[in-house]
Amino acid sequence: MARALAAAAAAVALFVAALLLLASTTLATAAAAPTTTSGIPAVFAFGDSTLDPGNNNGLQATLVRADHAPYGCGFPGAAATGRFSDGKLITDYIVESLGVKGLLPAYRDRGLTLAEASTGVSFASGGSGLDDLTAQTAMVYTFGSQIGDFQDLLGKIGMPKAAEIANTSLYVVSAGTNDVTMNYFILPLRTVSFPTIDQYSDYLIGRLQGYLQSLYNLGARNFMVSGLPPVGCLPVTRSLNLASGGGCVADQNAAAERYNAALQQMLTKLEAASPGATLAYVDVYTPLMDMVTQPQKYGERQQIDKLRYGRSIEQLLTQIFAACVAGFTETRQGCCGNGLLAMGALCTSELPQCRSPAQFMFFDSVHPTQATYKALADHIVQSHITKS
């Protein structure tokens, strides 16, 4: 009898051990598997102010900062995080759509943890570009230094986890607009070295190719690279070109289109020469031009439950009216100021402000509103993520 009980106890012990082994294997498999709905563990962003959620906040010397009101007036808690908009950026919507997290933080956020950084951050710096002169003039971080920050992050994460994250993450790149608009059209700093805009564009695309190659060498494989927007339709461009009669500047838009065509050719060739890499061209020019020509199709309906109570009856009625209006009502002028150089440190609460940023295509003289970013993000997710 005792021998039978001992045998039974041994069998039970073996069964429990098998269950524990199975559980540990299952947990290990679950820990190794992607936890996001898309299978993409992290998103890393590089470029300029359209992707900068606050990396410039600690740069005291630069004017290209958005850590003050009225920036962030539509962000949760009305916080001026350093995002150059009234609310979220396009990358915030992308990481949310991918199921990675709710917002893409700045790498230089002092409260950022390594665990949070491992699921994606933005290294982008407002005022930066593909040309180092652009960043140096604005006194911000160069594109090369952004890649250096990414390399430092991989070192902190450590191998082999860093290699796995690098290989499977999504890389969003958006730069070149500051180079073309500021260095060539507004402040002709590069016209001597490059007599034509197409020559300068070739130089910029060559620089971008080198940066993408550097990221590839660090393990990056999945890229989304944005082309130029219709730079001739930016509020600052319209304001500085009185000859256009307040309309878009056609020759600048044409230059952006030629740049984008050359960029697509470069990405196709680089992808063919980079085993395992996908370099998707993201067309922002076409949807932004559609917003300019057909503004009634865009904009956000403001929800009644988001109204800011405690204001005057007039302001409350204005918000209720805005909640019933669909489509942009203003595409020429930014919500902050009158469109003329009202950006960064020059966009302040002392300037005239629109009452409903959701009805504006631009928040300041250069940067889109949250509503515009949301529309672009929806387009990108549908075109490049949902179909993949």
Instruction: List, for residues 271-289, the tens digit of each pLDDT value.
Output: 999 999 999 999 999 999 9
Which pLDDT belongs to residue 367?
Answer: 97
Strand 222-226 with 170-174, pairing:
parallel
pLDDT mean over 153-169: 97
pLDDT tens for 64-86 read 999 999 999 999 999 999 999 99
Confidence of residue 129 (pLDDT cuts 50, 70, 90): very high
Among 85, 179, 356, 367, which one carries the catalytic annotation? 367
Task: Clarify whether 109 is annotated catalytic.
Answer: no
**Could you give the 3-state DSSP secondary structure of residue 281?**
strand
Q: Say what angle helices 370-380 and 90-98 make with each other, to 10 degrees.
A: 40
Contact status, residue 103 vs residue 114, Cβ threshold 8 Å: no
Task: Clarify whether 367 is annotated catalytic.
Answer: yes
- How many Å from the N-terminal Cα to the C-terminal Cα in the chain? 65
pLDDT reading at 303 higher than 50 = no
Contact status, residue 264 vs residue 286, Cβ threshold 8 Å: no
Which pLDDT belongs to residue 298?
Answer: 86
- The segment with the largest mean pLDDT, out of 31-35, 159-163, 295-299, 324-328, is 159-163
Query: Residues of the chain with pLDDT > 70: what percent?
Result: 82
Residue 117 in tokens: 């950084």
pLDDT reading at 14 higher than 50 = no
Query: Residues of the chain with pLDDT > 90: what percent?
Result: 76
pTM of the predicted protein model: 0.84
For residues 150 and 326, the model is more confident at: 150
Confidence of residue 353 (pLDDT cuts 50, 70, 90): very high
pLDDT reading at 22 higher than 80 = no
Residues facing residue 248 across a β-bridge: none
Which pLDDT belongs to residue 309?
Answer: 45
Confidence of residue 326 (pLDDT cuts 50, 70, 90): low
Round to whole Å and give the CA distance between 337 and 350: 9
pLDDT tens for 97-126 read 999 999 999 999 999 999 999 999 999 999
Confidence of residue 305 (pLDDT cuts 50, 70, 90): very low
CATH of domain 43-285+370-385: 3.40.50
Residue with tokens 């009502």: 329
pLDDT reading at 5 higher than 70 = no
Q: Where are the domains of the chain?
A: 43-285+370-385
Task: Clarify whether 384 is annotated catalytic.
Answer: no
Round to whole Å and give the CA distance between 170 and 132: 25
Residue 379 in tokens: 């387009």
Among 86, 109, 131, 364, which one carries the catalytic annotation? 364
pLDDT mean over 217-224: 98
pLDDT reading at 21 higher than 50 = no
Query: Among 186, 332, 180, which residue's Cα sits nearest to residue 255?
Result: 180
Which pLDDT belongs to residue 13?
Answer: 40
Query: Among 373, 375, 311, 338, which residue's Cα sits nearest to residue 75?
Result: 373
Query: Among 112, 94, 231, 275, which residue's Cα sits nearest to residue 172?
Result: 94
Which pLDDT belongs to residue 2?
Answer: 41
Among 48, 49, 131, 179, which one carries the catalytic annotation? 49
Query: Among 199, 155, 173, which residue's Cα sits nearest to residue 270?
Result: 173
- Amino acid identity of 108? R
pLDDT reading at 361 higher than 80 = yes
Contact status, residue 53 vs residue 373, Cβ threshold 8 Å: no
Round to whole Å and give the CA distance between 51 and 89: 7
pLDDT reading at 327 higher than 50 = yes
Which pLDDT belongs to residue 95?
Answer: 97
Round to whole Å and give the CA distance between 175 and 57: 19
Which pLDDT belongs to residue 161?
Answer: 97
Q: What is the mean pLDDT of the chain?
A: 86
